[in-house]
Amino acid sequence: MRLSRYSFLPISARLKAIFGASISVQDRAIEKVQLAAADESPTLPAVALPNEFSRVLDVEPNSTFDRENGYISSTRLAHGPTIAYKLADAILADHTLYCAGSYSVYRKAKKRPILAEPYEQVDEGQLCSYAPSNIYFGHWLRDALAMELLAETRGLPPLSFRRKPWLHEPGYREMVSLPGSPVTFAHVRRLWIVDDLGLNASWVARFQELRRRVQRSTGLDGPSHVFLARGTTGTSRELVNTSTLMEYLVARGFSIVEPEKLSPREIVKALASAKIVVSVEGSALNHAHYAVPEKSGVLVIQPPERFNAFHKVLLDFNNIRFGYVVGERALGGFTLAPERLLRTLDLLETIVG
């Protein structure tokens, strides 16, 4: 077993957290820089049947009724600043950041009690990851890639924790020209960690640049109406009458797109000319954020017990109209009456034109 001065950090850091004062990793920063100011953005009206939000029974676990109602009803939304913290002599290992006796876990994967393998040496870099982007594809596609683009503009290596790539990760990385710099066990002399969750003008500019890079990689000869099918790898939101709804949509001229069966380039091509996209709320919608053109419409079928309108915020940035329809609780998941879907679709079609 080959040991180093950093091999026992997993043990010592946790012992300090148990028996000493708990200090956050950010509080260990030797420098703090505001990279972008807080600001506000205007919103577009949500498209829905009258009193549709009253059908919501619960919202997604990390949100609240007030927040979700704000997404669909506010005329302006406030966004926080982008703050960078510089750490000295940081260690990245096993999805955990260690610095000066403090640590932060980015994924609850198995942790080695002793770090026994050789480590990489990095002079300076930016960590382009946070807990959700290590767990959910959608957060990686939006948030982690936006962080990597920020690192690119700052001239810093875009560090992340090495893991099994998401199904569509290699294809998207190729389209946006961001290869990444994953590490397994590394000592970083100067590590920047970034609070980049405020969707301010800087974040939006990077998000739109990623859209441009994706869209320039394919043609514009796809279908005008698409049902974006959910796959099997995300959080369960089982729409039990999906096949019935798809029959109605196909009869109305919709094409069915199943992302798990396609490459990212094929997905983007299928969405690049879409005027209307329908999808069950979930990670599949993240493909639409990068591929669907401006002045189109996205209709989200919402589970009644896991309502999530955050996608509206992102669609608003790109002048894409957000519509939603809420299903009803059913055995094994939820259901949606076809006539309610079609009525909402009529509203969205009329507005998009």
pLDDT in tens, 151-174: 999 999 999 999 999 999 999 999
Of the ranges 11-25, 143-157, 183-197, 334-348, which one carries the lowest mean pLDDT score?
11-25
Residues 323 and 299: their CA atoms lie apart, in Å, by 4
Q: What is the mean pLDDT of the chain?
A: 94
Residue with more model confidence, 112 or 297:
297
Q: Which residue, 232, 313, 320, 314, is CA-closest to 280?
A: 232
Structure tokens belonging to residue 94: 């096993």
Instruction: Give kind and range of the element (H or E) at residue 346.
Output: helix 338-352
Query: Once rounded to an integer, what is the mean pLDDT over residues 129-136?
Result: 92
Q: Is 28 left (phi over 0), alpha (psi -120 to 50) or beta?
A: alpha
Higher pLDDT, 292 or 112: 292
**Beta bridge partner(s), residue 186:** 92, 120
Using CA atoms in the order 208, 213, 216, 220, what is the torsion angle rounded to 10 degrees? -50
pLDDT tens sequence across 195-242: 999 999 999 999 999 999 999 978 778 899 999 998 665 555 699 999
Nearest to 284 by CA among 137, 92, 155, 143: 137
Is the pLDDT at 19 greater than 80, yes or no? Answer: no
Q: For the chain, give the percent of residues with pLDDT over 70.
A: 97
Top-confidence residue, 221 or 130? 130
Residues of the chain with CATH 3.40.50: 52-78+221-352
CATH, domain range 52-78+221-352: 3.40.50
Helix and strand totals (H; E) in the chain: 12, 17
